[in-house]
Structure 1
Amino acid sequence: MMHWTTALVLIILAITEACTVIGVGKAATVDGSVLVSHTNDAGLNPADLRMVRVPAMNHSEGSMRPIYNFQRNGYPRVRSKDRGPQYEPEANESLTPVLGYIPQVPFTYGYFDHDYGMINDNQLSIAESTCAAKTVGWPKSLHYGHNLFQIEELSKIALERCNSARCAIQLMGNLAVEHGFFGEYGKNQRPNYGSSSEALGISDKYGETWIFHMLTGADNTSAVWAAQRVPDTNIAVVANSFVIRTLNLSDTENYMASENVESFARDMGWYNPAEGPFDFAAAYSWAKPGPSKPLYGGRRIWRIYDVCAPSLLLDSTLGQHPEVETYPFSIKPDRLLAPRDLMEIMRDHYEGTKYDMTKEVAAGPFGNPIRFGGSTKNVTGGWERSISMHRTTHSFVLQARGNLPDEIGGIAWYSLGAPHGSVYAPFSCAQSTVPASYLSSRKNKFDTNAAWWAFEFLNNWSMLRYNLIHADVKKVMNEIQDEAIALEVSTREQAMQITNPPERISFIESRYNAFAQRMVDRWWQLAFSLIVKFSDGYIIHGDRAGDMKAPGYPAWWLQSTNFGTWPTSDAYNPPAKIITLQTPPHHSITLWVVSAFFAIAGEEMDNRDGVVLMYTASPGGTINGPGPGGMILIGRDDQEYQMDMQRGRLQRLLTTTIFVCFFILFLDGTNRSQRLSKKTSHQNTQWPYTDNDTERLNQIQYFKHLLDIERSHFHPLGHMNKSENVSGIYSGLWAPLQPKNYKAQVAANEIGRVVHPQIQPYADYDVNANRFNSDVASFSPGGVFWLVLSTKPTPVAECNDDVAYVTGQVIMHDKQSTLAITMFNVQGIFLRKVGRLTLYGNIPDARVELVYPTTYPPRANPVTSIVNSTVQNGSLAVDDEQMHFEVSPPRYSIYGSQQQRLRTGQSLVDQCSYTLDMNVETPDKTSAPMVHMHSVAALGGIVGSEACQLYWSANVTYVGENFDQFFSKASHYAIIMAILAMFQIYLLLRQLQISSTQAMAAKVSLLTIGAQAIVDSYLCLAHLTIGIVAQQIFTLFATVSFFELIIFSIFEMRYLLVIWKARRPQNFTQGWLLMRRELTTLYSRFYISLLTGLCLIYYGWHYINYLVFIAFSFWVPQIIHNAHCEVRNPFDFVYVLGMSITRLFLPLYLYGCPKNFLSALPVYQQQMQPEMCYLLIGWVSFQIVMLYLQQRCGPRFFVPARFLPVKYNYERRIDADQMSLLRANQGDEIDCVICMVELDIDARDYMIAPCDHIFHRPCLQEWMQVKMECPTCRCALPEP
Structure 2
Amino acid sequence: MPADNTPRNVDNGTVNGRERQRGSVPSFLFISFVLFMLTNHSGDEFLARHQYQDALRSLSYQLSNFTAWRNGTESDFSLPDVDVTAQPLVDFFLHHGHLQDPSRASYHPNITGFLRGEGSAHHITLPSLAGETVPWKPLAVEYTSELNITEASERAGSWNWTASEKVALSLVEKPTVDPQTGQRLSHDVALAHGRIEFTDINTSDELRLEFEAIHFITSGSFYGFALPNGRQIDIRLLSSLVPEPHKNATADMIKPEIEARIKKLQQLIDDGNIVVDPDAPNPDEGIKTNCSFTFQAHLVPSKVPQYLMTELEEEIQKPTGASTVEPPRIAVDALFLSKDCGILYEIHEAEGLRSRTFFRKVTTYAATAGIVYLILLFLLIRQMEISRTPSGIARVSRWTLLFQATMDSLSFAGHITFAILFDGRASLSLVAPAFLACTLFIHEAQFAILVYQVQLPEDSVPTVQPTPNVINPPTEAAPTVIAPSLPVVGPPQQPPAAATNAATTETSGLLLFWRFITSDPQIKVWLALFLFVIVLVRVILSPVMGVLYVAFSYSSIWMPQIIRSARRGRGSGLSKEYLLGTSACRVYLMLYFLVCPKNVLEVQPRRWTWLLAMFVFAQVGVVLLQDQFGPDFFLPARFKQVNVYDYHPVLPLPDAEAPEQSLGDCAICMDAILIDSTSGFLHAMQKRMVGGGATARKSYSLAPCHHLFVSEILILLFMYGALSHGYSKHTECLEKWLAIKNICPQCRRPLPPL
TM-score (norm 2): 0.50
Higher relative contact order (CA 8 A, sep 6+): 2
Structure (1 or 2) with the larger CA radius of gyration: 1
**Greater per-residue helix proportion:** 2
